[in-house]
Amino acid sequence: AQSVTQLDSQVPVFEEAPVELRCNYSSSVSVYLFWYVQYPNQGLQLLLKYLSGSTLVKGINGFEAEFNKSQTSFHLRKPSVHISDTAEYFCAVSAQGGSEKLVFGKGTKLTVNP
Amino acid sequence: EPEVTQTPSHQVTQMGQEVILRCVPISNHLYFYWYRQILGQKVEFLVSFYNNEISEKSEIFDDQFSVERPDGSNFTLKIRSTKLEDSAMYFCASEGTTNYGYTFGSGTRLTVV
């Protein structure tokens, strides 16, 4: 079984500041890792995913994440945030192989202030 | 870009009534899922569906729940007798075979009163 811990429930930052949203996972098998974003009153949109290969993954809207197997982490970063990045961000994990269920973290609410 | 479409966007129902939530997955996808998110809580897996049968279901997915793909395009979630605690946002998702990572619909907010 897999589990995901998102250490920060809320992260307030000022516009144009860098941000890191933390995610740690636990699994007894190899995993795929995902970050999803949920804007207010909307569904879940895939930001980026790690399946294999390079541990630094680039996604949409300037976000990137780094897979660290030894630390079982998959932190999300953006060098300069915009007001429009205000949203809830969910880290998720699935067992490798495809068509496996996703296990989500509790989410991090990112608020970008002017 | 292909989308997963869910209807209705919001449904209010009385406790004990049956509800059917509808989803149209991406047309060439083969794997289908339902998840739910109770307000303020994390997104939880309910059920996965492949080749016209349930692949996996969670403890939440008890006898009150059922899924169906009646006509090759729609994918439905039925709750037979709704309870107050079924109030949540329900997300449908689909996945292809060559590009891992679901596409989620925008959700149906179910309110049981």
> What mean pLDDT do residues A90-105 have?
88
Which percentage of chain B shows pLDDT scores above 90? 76
Predicted confidence band of residue B41 (pLDDT cuts 50, 70, 90)? confident
Bigger pLDDT: B16 or A96?
Answer: B16
**Contact status, residue A101 vs residue A70, Cβ threshold 8 Å:** no
Higher-confidence residue: A86 or B95? A86
What residues contact A25, with CB distance under 8 A and at least 6 apart? A2, A3, A4, A5, A31, A33, A72, A73, A74, A91, A93
Query: For position B98, what pLDDT does the model report?
Result: 63
Q: Give the mutation candidate from A102, A104, A108 for the B interface (greatest B CB count, under 10 A).
A: A102
A107 band by pLDDT with thresholds 50, 70 and 90: very high
pLDDT at position B73 is 85
Output the pLDDT for position B99. Answer: 60
Among positive and negative, which fits the CA dihedral A95, A98, A103, A106?
A: positive
Which of B39, B57, B103, B104 has the most A C-beta neighbours within 10 Å, making it the best mutation to test the interface with A? B104
Q: What pLDDT does residue A60 have?
A: 93
Q: Is the pLDDT of residue A111 over 70?
A: yes
- DSSP conformation class of A80: S
B41 interaction partners in chain A (CB closer than 8 Å)? 106
On the question of pLDDT at B39 being above 80, the answer is yes
Number of H helices and E strands in chain B, helices first, is: 0, 11
* Tokens encoding A42: 């909307």
CB contact A90 to B (< 8 Å): yes
Q: Please state, in angstroms and rounded to a whole number, the distance separating the CA atoms of residues B100 and B103.
A: 10
Closest residue in A to B96 (Cα) is A99
Cβ–Cβ under 8 Å, residues A7 and A107: no
Angstrom distance (rounded) from CA A19 to CA A67: 17
Distance CA B45, CA B56 (A): 10
Mean pLDDT of chain A: 93
Q: Which residues of B touch A42 (CB under 8 A)?
A: 106-107
CA distance A62 to A65: 10
